Chains A and B, each alone.
Chain A
């Protein structure tokens, strides 16, 4: 073919090879983080709703909470933020990313499969960092004062990311995008109200409280309340519950997640 020549000779001379792992991970995570922060629905889920709840529940007495209310509300809202990002947001994004073929597209490059998953989780952590900073500043403005439990709280947030992240990958990676969208939102709503996040376990009906304590939502929120607002209780159970969900979810995801 004697075409006008868009491609100079030698343009495509083969020079294959895998890119640097660190740069691949950084590029994928940064792009996914950027996409998450650019997506209006994701921002509503991960930032706006937690902010509204943080301000509203701290200032308005709808649920019985110990004073200062902001301490307990901040713990609840951090748990919500982690669930929104690592579970609901991630499952929906993963479901639609699979639908649009990006997972397969990236798998077809030199990007190793484990890095593909790691990149998603790093992007989730990036979003959570943004949430913790924004919500923390608002909580400070509302009168929350960080105490000795902050480091413990951050560890719990990480563990929560692992548990919810594994479950989010499992959900987003196994079902059709529309079903993922519906399920992830329903689960979010049910756990928000009945899973020990907004309503502390002590306030829930006892049967529901026993179940909620074994859910990642209840474990994370209760652990954060213990760490941040000095609520009574041991961190052993919340940590164990989150760890078990992380391992079970991770193993199930690694076996069941499909690329397309």
Chain B
């Protein structure tokens, strides 16, 4: 499948919150990250999507200065994360996978400590309330549910009013209501001009939140583009319509550019497979008109991002 490129490889775009070129990280002989390129433009959301073990967390850890790259170039807000982690961390917010807090600490105590590390933090009590943590404000961290721990971790990532936020699996372990709240928070971050790089293995999440999706597998980028580009690119689309039964589908296919297929799987129900763009749609309806038929109930079905993801990363279960 061919996918749009973000720009010439090897270039670093100015004004971009995160620029990664040719990133490589090896553990022993296995390459956890194997030549990843990505860009997060200012005030946009990029989802790093991939199965477990694809290299998502390692990429985030390198971007936040917790690990050193073996090769490649990384610039985060113009800073080399490995060279000046303290300078970088004063400007970003990080939600590490699984969060993090003292085992016996209460949510508000932990968030207040993290807020103290920033010059102009958000109001801690407001954030606790709006994230639905008010009811467990006195519960020790180790006894919070996974979803509550996640929401506290998210609060810690945004309380310092950062320019850029890294969220590693932000909705893991959350119920659907909490997940919606997190999605709304990510939307609000973007609205207010904060760039977000999040990792997820939830297609629905990437589709709902991201301006750009980078699909990684085995440490390599296997696809990137907007959710719409990823789901409409390639041969995975179909045009379905109803019309008079018994029209000559071979003739219909001949009226379309090469590579398109037409079929009548049930009487009066037609399907055209291939990349459905406006000229193709027009060609199909014109051909019907020439047959004296009205193409009715015309539908273009997009593949879901999940289909794209599974096509690219394989459908077998991973250990």
Contact = CB atoms under 8 A, between A and B. Distances in A.
Interface of A: 1, 3, 5-7, 9-20, 23-24, 27-28, 31-32, 34-35, 38-39, 96-97, 99-113, 259
B96 A101 contact: yes
Given A100-B103, A105-B99, A12 B192 contact: yes
B151 to A, nearest CB: 12
Nearest to A112: B86
B141 A15 contact: no
Contact of A31 (B98, B113, B181): B113
Given A1-B184, A24-B116, A110 B193 contact: no
Nearest to B129: A6
Nearest to A96: B103
Contacts of A105: 96, 99-101, 114, 153, 156
Contacts, number: 150
B180 A110 contact: no
A110 B160 contact: yes
Interface in B116-175: 116-122, 130, 141-142, 153, 156, 158, 160-163
19 contacts: A1-B183, A1-B208, A5-B184, A7-B184, A12-B193, A13-B192, A16-B90, A19-B121, A24-B117, A32-B102, A34-B109, A102-B100, A102-B105, A104-B96, A104-B100, A105-B99, A106-B113, A107-B66, A110-B89
Nearest to B208: A1
Contact of B64 (A19, A32, A100, A108): A108
Contacts of B153: 105
B117 A111 contact: yes
B96 A18 contact: no
A12 B98 contact: no
A3 B141 CA distance: 29
Interface residues of B, number: 52
Contacts of A111: 117
Contacts of A103: 100
Contacts of B183: 1, 3
Contacts of A15: 119-120, 161
B81 to A, nearest CB: 11
B102 A18 contact: no
B96 A14 contact: no
Of B64, B191, B194, most A-chain CB atoms within 10 Å = B191
Given A17-B90, A17-B120, A102 B162 contact: no
Contacts of A35: 102, 104-105
A16 B162 contact: yes
